Homo-oligomer: A and B are copies of this chain.
Amino acid sequence: MAAADRPPTLHDVARRAGVHPATVSRALSKPDMVAAQTRSIVLDAVAAVGFVPNRSARQLVSGRTDAIGVIVPDITNPYFAAIVQAIQGDARRDDLAVLIADTGADPDEERRALATLSRQVDGIVAVTPITDLAAATRPVVQVNRQRRGVVSVVVDQEAIVVLAIDHLAALGHTAIAVVRGPAAYWSASRRDHAIARLTASASGAAVRIDLLPPSAATFEGGRAAYEGVARSGATAAVAFNDLQAAGLLVAAHEAGRSVPDSLSVVGSDGLALATMTSPPLTTVAAPLEDLGRTARQRLADLLAQGPGPTLTTLRPHLVVRATTAPPTRPDRNRHAPGESPT
């Protein structure tokens, strides 16, 4: 048969199957509305002509787009990239298109992205710590930020600090410096609270925690934060994330302070980067893939059934590598270069 020049339509299939186009449509999208026999005839015809529904036409009448949008502040940051990857993988499996918007963490841009995407997708997952959701006209699930009325998927920030502090305490550290994240971050404020609670508790009383001023959640931020760590006299530091931790590591190295012998460092996020530092970074890994998949799932639920449980909290886990060790006495002879570690 001479195949038409244009892609086959519902009508082509219908003609071949000897049914009405509407029946073809139903056989595909509401299978149990059509008799089994008819359905199989239709399906054969669909396969025979290689029919694939036209998305625009479907969208136009149904209003659905079969697409979701993802908003991130910086796709170049592996933390966000990993989440996007997970969302994308699952979405592809369901034949959902994924539109992406990188906002550079600019609030205006975020608003614009929210508005633009709203008109092109069924729903949006916003993976960004600071968002004004007002511009959205579609369901949104937010990752790593909790707010009343919006369904969100977050990682347990309290668990992060507990995991880090407990690990350090178990090693024998009694003076721990915590470098804080940018004040605007939801996660940063949660951690501050967690620390406050911890300090007040019995187990927390055993260690002295020095809360350092907020530093950028970047390599440079960590580098700059080292001075505060040094000044605090702590034998261990917990960074806001792995990037910061990496910065801390090189700053310590440059200052001639060896890790983990003279200073223990624990990061947070569990990026690939953490395996590449030297020494490899002990870190509290966030369940990045799970975060993405869950967010995607919550969005699907939200679209299908309307608002459901509004908060999902995922647990991080500790990955012990080589930047943490029992403290050594803070004696003054830190000038001794000594042999190479290991």
Contacts and interface: CB of A to CB of B under 8 A. Distances in A.
Contacts of A120: 55, 97
Interface in A82-96: 82, 84-85, 88-89, 92, 95
A59 interface: yes
Given A99-B98, A275-B219, A276-B247, A85 B76 contact: yes
Contacts of A76: 78, 81-82, 85, 272
A340 B250 contact: no
A40 interface: no
Interface string A246-283: 11011001101000000000000000110111100000
A210 interface: no
Contacts of A272: 76, 219
Given A99-B98, A254-B342, A52 B276 contact: no
A56 B277 CA distance: 49
A119 B55 contact: yes
Interface string A109-146: 00001001001100000000000000000000000000
Given A55-B119, A76-B78, A99 B102 contact: no
A86 to B, nearest CB: 10
Contact of A278 (B78, B81, B84, B253): B253
B100 A98 contact: yes
A101 interface: yes
A3 interface: no
A75 B88 contact: yes
A48 interface: no
Contacts of A57: 56, 60
Query: Taking each of A57, A101, A102, A120, which has the highest tally of chain B beta carbons within 10 Å of its own beta carbon?
Result: A102
B97 A85 contact: no
A54 interface: yes
B75 A102 contact: no
Interface in A303-342: 340, 342
Contacts of A81: 75-78, 81
Contacts of A84: 75, 100, 102
5 contacts: A57-B60, A74-B85, A81-B81, A98-B99, A98-B101
